[in-house]
Structure 1
Amino acid sequence: MTIDLTRRTLLQLAGATSLAAAAAAAARAEGTPQGGEPTYASRTPMRVGMVTLRVKNLDVVADYYRDVLGLTVMERSATSAKLGTGGIALLVLEARPEAATEPRNAAGLYHTAFLMPTRKDLARWLVHAASHRVQLSGFADHLVSESVYLDDPEGNGIEVYADRDPSQWQWSEGSVKMATDELNIPDLLSLTNPRVSDYPKAPDGLRIGHMHLRVGDLAQAESFYHGTVGLDPTRRRNGASFLSSGRYHHHLGMNVWQSQGAGRRDDSTTGLAWFSLVTEKQELLAAQEERLRKGGAQVTALANGVEAVDPWGTRVRLIKV
């Protein structure tokens, strides 16, 4: 497929008049391994596993993640769809045709961030998105990573990004330097042929690099996800907090930009059902479960771990793999 991919085209898809405007649009949302190695985000003691969303129109949303992100439909029925890549499940969609749409000022999902294995993969995907006229909501350089933002057909936020090499991340007193600068689109596109779409499917190494949640109170969220779940703070600024395992820049982002003071979520609405944090360390899982139970959190035993509920009703599964 031959396409005319220019900066102007990408700005039009992002609904922006300049790269600065596109970066500003991404501001509220928040490197390159060689060969087939897991990304840094997947080599840490804990990492994000998968996410489950409740959706009104299963077919439309499943087709979107298949066609736009290139995920493979691994299982599909009248009531659910499981999608992933390289044989790894990343996303489950549960049909809730009668559900009301979760308000954007409620606690819940801000975006699911899909991490490309390499910067070239991100470039290839961007050409693919532009060639299919996918509506974008912003793009930005975060210093630790380069990101493109969009929404699925039901308004669930998505980030598609590639990390810079961890050796380029700047740490100071336990805090990593991040920003929302203009994305250098010409430099990114120099890695591929911008006139030919060369992205037949998601690369096998694609993973969910991080989750970003809307919460009602940052201090309360930090108490749960740091004090109880065990993720370490990496940055806090402008109504947002970032946490990670193993000095990744963040496996979890949380903000109160739209949701300050939000109460408990309504499980009968669309949106995030649950997401998982996985570990290979049994002792880490055991310590998490002990802290959760001592802290009075709502905990449910699973075959390979536990499911806990955060202060706003968002469910997180802590899984041993």
Structure 2
Amino acid sequence: MPQLALPGSYGEAPTGYRLPAALRLGAVRLQVSDLSRSVHWYHDVLGLSELSRERDVVAMGVAGAAEPLVVLEHRPRTVPVRPGSRLGLYHFAILLPDRPALGRFVQHLARVGARAGASDHLVSEALYLQDPDGLGIEVYRDRPRSEWQRTGKELMMATDPLDAAGVVAAANDEPWTGMPYGTVMGHLHLHVGDIPRATDFYSHALGFDRMVWRYPGALFLGAGGYHHHLGTNTWAPGASSPRNTDAQLLEWNIVIPAPEAALSSLAEAGFRVNGTQALDPWGTPVRITG
């Protein structure tokens, strides 16, 4: 029988080091095949602004923000990828501040003719897109935590149809003017080789709480009671890690107080750590800073 997910009533904490509730996610760094094309797409479709540029690297984020959400990097001979053909990035997820912002984004996508998938995850409402290189993107809004539910210690999440009409109505006919103030990187979702090794790296060693573990082929992890800062899945069976010439996620970023503790926990568990960057068992880099 579902129950309200009151603070502290759900999730399974790791037995050792535990990531702090103050955790937030920084920018994702992406390798793209055509920098100019990607910059235009991330501006025209996703609503991000160019914050800085240096040779073959462009940082994009909310207009006027101090930190980017996405860093685009072109490397010679990079080619687009077919979704699900490589381990690593399934999607990165940009969190909007509220439902009206999501409604304005839906209307914007319709105006520019961009195709998107849509789902209701019980804890959130989400849209899904692919950039010109086939890299996955989610744009979503969270439901209030007071509305989340649990079954036992497991948070309830699902993939249900989105109430698109309700989302659009929430926009109240206000125009989309780009990603609004308060937009942040909400979570990452990765293709992995298997869930037990993902659990070893991301929960037992890195310190995320397990939030949802009975979702078919997936594990969702978070810190501070959040539904998930990280999703992992085995929905790309037989896929290999990216080649150097594939468009791909080059790294994602975790920002916490005292990052040395998380890096030490990973190293002590036998995982590859170089400075502030660690590699998961399939070579996906995560950078941990303060």
TM-score (norm 1): 0.79
Residue 174 of structure 1 and its aligned partner are, at CA, apart by 2.6
* Pair 1:299 & 2:273 matched: yes
User: Aligned match of 1:152 in 131, 135, 138?
Assistant: 131
Q: Residue 47 of structure 1: CA displacement?
A: 2.1
Deviation at 1:183, TM superposition (A): 0.8
Q: Secondary structure at the match of 1:190?
A: helix
Residue 41 of structure 2 contacts residue 131 of structure 2 at CA under 8 Å; is this kept in 1? yes
Query: Counterparts of 2:22 and 2:150 in 1: how far apart (Å)?
Result: 19
**How much does 1:188 deviate?**
1.3
The answer as to whether partners of 1:51 and 1:92 remain within 8 angstroms in 2 is yes
Partners of 1:149 and 1:177 lie apart in 2 by 20
Q: Deviations over 1:66-91 (max 9, x none)?
A: 11121110112441110111332111
CA distance in 2, matches of 1:208, 1:135: 21
- Unaligned runs of 5+ residues in structure 1 are 1-42
Residues 266-293 of structure 1, C-alpha deviations (whole Å, 9 max, x = no match): 33421100000111x21xx232122111
Q: Which residue of 1 aligns with 2:200?
A: 223
Aligned equivalent of 2:282, options 299, 312, 315: 312
Q: Hey, what does 2:12 align to over in structure 1?
A: none
Q: Which is richer in helix?
A: 1
Whichever residue aligns with residue 134 of structure 2, its letter is: G
The aligned residue for residue 70 of structure 2 is: 91
**Aligned equivalent of 1:80:** 57
Looking at structure 2, the residues matched to 60 and 116 of structure 1 have their Cα atoms a distance apart, in angstroms, of 24
**Structure 2: gaps (5+ residues):** 1-19
Is 1:108 aligned to residue 88 of structure 2? yes
Contact 1:147 1:161 in 2 (8 A): yes
Amino acid aligned to 1:46: L
1:132 lines up with 2:112 in the alignment: yes
Which of these residues, 3, 23, 37, is aligned with residue 46 of structure 1? Answer: 23
Matched, 1:123 2:103: yes
Deviation at 1:261, TM superposition (A): 4.8
2:175 paired with 1:175: no
Percent same amino acid among aligned pairs?
A: 39
C-alpha deviation, 1:263, in angstroms: 4.4
Q: Are the equivalent residues in 2 in contact too, given 1:96–1:270 (CA < 8 A)?
A: no
Match of 1:275 in 2: 252
How do 1:248-287 residues align onto structure 2 when only pairs under 5 Å count? 248-258=226-236, 260-279=237-256, 281-282=257-258, 285-287=259-261
Deviation at 1:97, TM superposition (A): 3.7
SS of 2:26's equivalent in the other structure is strand
Structure number with the bigger relative contact order (C-alpha 8 A, sep ≥ 6) is 2
With over 3 angstroms needed to count, the CA separation of the structure-2 counterparts of 1:174 and 1:46, relative to structure 1, is: farther
Deviations 1:111-155 (A, max 9, x none): 01110001111011111111111121x101111000111111111
Within the alignment, does 1:187 sit opposite 2:166 as a pair?
yes
1:288 and 2:262 matched: yes
8 Å CA contact retained: 2:121, 2:158 = yes
Letter in 2 for 1:106: R
What's the secondary structure of 1:161's corresponding residue? strand
Cα separation, partners in 2 of 1:107 and 1:238, compared to 1, 3 Å: same
Partner of 1:29: none
Aligned length: 267
